[in-house]
Structure formats: C-alpha cells, structure tokens
Amino acid sequence: FRDPERPIPGDPQLMVSPADGLVSDVEQLPHHDLLNGPCVRVGIFLSVFNVHVNRSPCEGKVTQIIYKKGKFINAMSHAAASSDNESNTLVLADPADRPIAVVKQIVGLIARRIICDAKIGDTYARGQRFGMIKFGSRTELYIPLWIEPNVQVKVGQKVRGGIDIIAKLSAVPAAAAQPGATA
C-alpha cells in the first residue's frame, strides 16, 4: 500500500482532501446530526489504483468515532453506499468542542477493511494520517455551514489526500493542533 509523503498546506483557512480519488458528489445538506446543523458533503471515490490512506482535513480533536456494520455495495453508487455500507465516522472539533468536520470512511464492493488509528481525544494536524480503507472505497467529508466553506472542487475532479484543497473557510475555527503535532 502506497503512502507518499506530502507537502501539507499550512493556511488555517483551508480544508484539504481526506483521501485520494475522484470527487463523485458535492451536495449541501439541510442538517447533519453530528454537526448539529446544515453542511456541505464532498464525496470521494477511491479506485483500486488510488492511495488509500485517509488524512485529517483540518486541525481538530477527535470527539466521536462511530463504527457501523453494513453491506458492501459498490462505492460508485454513492447514495446507497453512504447509507448502507460498513463505515467508520470521525468527528473533529475545535478547542471549544464545536464540531468542525466529519470524515466518513466507507467500504465498497471490493474494499472490505477499514483501518482507523484515531482514538477519542486524539488531536490531529491538517493532513495527518489517521487510517486507510484497503483496496477501493468511498470517503466523505462533511463541513458545517457555520464556518462558511467555499468549496474548491467539482464533481469529476481528481484529488490527493492532504494536498488538494476541498474548501476555503471564511469563518476559521480556532486551531486545535499545532502543525506537526502527533496523535
């Protein structure tokens, strides 16, 4: 499994891609329970040829980890895969414990194994590795609208985890981690 070193952008206004792959959908949702309000979701499909390491999109403290058993529907069918497939969800928060990002690791038809090294209370720097999904899958990033995300990617665009910018934030939450911090 490839795991290249990457130059991570340092600007606190940026949310980077949590995965390598193809942007399959960008959608504004009226409410997400884990974010306590409206958000934007960016879905990324990982083929068997992509790097499968998942990275933190921003600085934040892990406040929840939710593992869900489920099916192994083809991850290209993003609506069904998102709701029905086996998944692991991380909630990242700022120092005031306000949720600022949700990253959901979703298995696919071939990918059957999620690895997540994160633990509740761990603090991650932007671009820091927290796990992987073996072989091919889907990763979703949910960003609350209260931090005013200006999405920088379009459906069909290829992205690289930790490098490519998913959104630029107008309302920057206080950083929970210093660059180079370890979990």
The DSSP-derived string for 101-125 is EEEEEEE-SS--EEEE---TT-EE-
87 part of the active site: no
Residues 34-47 pLDDT 10s:
999 999 999 999 98
Asked if pLDDT for residue 178 goes beyond 80, the answer is no
Rounded to whole angstroms, the Cα distance separating 165 from 174 reads: 19
In this structure, which amino acid lies at residue 52?
Answer: H
Average pLDDT for 17-46? 96
DSSP letter for 34, please.
G
Q: How far from chain centre, in Å, is Cα 70?
A: 19
Q: What is the pLDDT of residue 171?
A: 82
Residue 151's pLDDT band, with cuts at 50, 70 and 90, is very high
Residues 51-103 pLDDT 10s:
889 999 999 999 999 999 866 665 666 666 677 778 899 999 999 999 999 99
Per-residue tokens: 122: 């761990």
Asked if pLDDT for residue 183 goes beyond 70, the answer is no
Residue 110's pLDDT band, with cuts at 50, 70 and 90, is low
Rounded to whole angstroms, the Cα distance separating 136 from 76 reads: 10
Candidates 24, 82, 137, 170; catalytic one: 137
